[in-house]
Amino acid sequence: MAVVETRDLTKVFKEGALGAVNSVSLETREGEFLVFLGPSGSGKTTLLRMIAGLEAPTSGDILIGGRVVNDLTPRERRIAMVFQSYALYPHLSVYKNIAFPLKAQKIKKELHQAKVEWAAALLGIGALLERKPRELSGGERQRVALARAIVREPAVFLLDEPLSNLDAKLRASAREELERFHRRVGTTTIYVTHDQVEAMAMGDRVLVLNKGVVHQLGTPTEVYDHPADTFVAAFLGSPPMNLVELAEHIVGFRPEHLRPAASVTGDAVSLRLRVENIEYLGAEWIVSGSVGGGRLDGKKVFSRLTSAQGLALEGTYDFAVPQRELRFFDRSTEKRVAPRAVSLQ
């Protein structure tokens, strides 16, 4: 039995307009970290808010623990949610913030202190209990919000972009902390983000959404290496997958698979690349250019290399992509189709 399940879940905000969430069906697996990934406006937050009970679905069902909860209030769903802003209660101390769910759910007062201290210790904020939220740093606030969520030991955690308010440096450490936290408590978690790095790094599985429609649900490797359609292919990866139209297909290959021909062994398709720009990013180089000659003449493509030494601007070089790294999409449906032999020359 899935902890959270949705069946044909749809939300239409304005009658006649396009739905914010369209017929989404999914099942979480026990204890997994499921990430909703999509650009802004993709409906990922609306989907999460429907699961939380903060938004009523237009149609479809939400099940928690095998029970339809469409008509239940958030409090009756026994879920915990961490908001993008953390939504800490500004007038209450950290202790009272964490104790609030216990108080609200009428848990015996004698148990409060032990539970609050347990949650605070789990997140390493035992020393902050007397502070007010405004006296905390961004990272500390996030931990208080997590402690407030964990304290009632919910069946499922819902996290709405909890890292987006932190600066880049803090984000990396907070991400790692969240991963460790999840491993320790093992609670089924749904995590919403627009950041593919977070999704790839943290997710057991990733649900890729766009315009309220599910494009793919799979492990990070599946969505990255075997994108279900051109949207997923182009959304994941930076720079994204190279997509070129070829007869009735769209052919895709990751920039890291487009390399100088000399370094590619085995079955490969080759093309001539005229280098137009070279970016040095420390650990890697991003080379962009256009294809010269053959069936892709003039197409712009990216290559990601560990070293671009030996390449010069405006020079033309032989590049190649291993045959097994090519992905094929139907040109009209944009869905992935079986691989086939192809020549780019």
Partner 1 sequence: MGAAQSPALGAVMLAPAVLYILLLVAGPFLLAIFYAFSDARIGNTELHFVGLENFRSILQSRSFRIAVRNSFVFTIGSQIVVIIVSSILAIVLEKPFRGRGVIRFLVLLPWVAPIALGAIGWKWILDSIYSVISWVLVALHLYKPFSAPMWLGEPHLAIASVLLVHSWRLIPFSTVILLAGRTAIPKDIPEAAAVDGAGFWRTEFLILLPMMMPIISVAVLFGTIFTFTDMTVVYILTAGGPFDSTQVLPSLAFTVGIQGSDLAAGAAISLSLVPLLVIVAYLMLRVAHRAEVT
Contact residues: partner 1, CB under 8 A: 52-54, 73-75, 79-81, 83-85, 87, 89-92, 100-101, 103-105, 134, 148, 152
Minimum distance between the CB of residue 49 and partner 1, rounded to whole angstroms? 8
Alpha-carbon gap, residue 250 to 301, rounded angstroms: 14
The backbone region for 119, taken as left when phi is positive above 0, alpha when psi lies in -120 to 50, beta otherwise, is: alpha
Position 298: which residue type? G
Retrieve residue 229's tokens. Answer: 């359609």
Q: Is the dihedral of CA 79, 84, 87, 90 positive or negative?
A: positive
Min dist CB 328 to partner 1, Å, is 44
- What distance in Å separates the CA atoms of residue 145 and residue 165, rounded to the nearest whole number? 13
The minimum distance between CB 52 and partner 1, in angstroms, equals 6
Nearer to partner 1, 113 or 221 (CB): 113
Nearer to partner 1, 87 or 122 (CB): 87
Query: Tell me, what amino acid is at 141?
Result: R
CB of 185 to partner 1, least distance (A): 18
Beta carbon of residue 35, minimum distance to partner 1 (angstroms, whole number):
20
Min separation Cβ 274 and partner 1, Å: 51
Q: Amino acid identity, residue 193?
A: T
H helical segments located in the chain: 44-52, 74-77, 94-104, 109-122, 138-150, 168-185, 196-202, 220-225, 230-235
Peptide bond into 239 cis (omega under 30): yes
CB of 254 to partner 1, least distance (A): 38
Query: Which of residues 75 and 183 has its CB atom nearest to partner 1 in the complex?
Result: 75
Nearer to partner 1, 98 or 200 (CB): 98
Give me the phi and psi of 117, to 5 degrees please: -65, -35
Q: How far apart are CA 81 and CA 95, in angstroms?
A: 18
Measured from the CB atom, the residue of 146 and 326 that comes closer to partner 1 is 146
**Dist. CA 269–CA 86, nearest whole Å:** 50
Q: Looking at beta carbons only, is 83 or 118 nearer to partner 1?
A: 83
d(CA 198, CA 200): 6
Q: How far is the CB of 157 from partner 1 (least distance, A)?
A: 11
One-letter amino acid for residue 263 of the chain: S
- Residue 175 and residue 163 in contact, taking contact as beta carbons nearer than 8 Å: yes
Q: Which is nearer to partner 1, 53 or 237 (CB)?
A: 53
Nearer of residues 89 and 293 to partner 1, judged by Cβ: 89
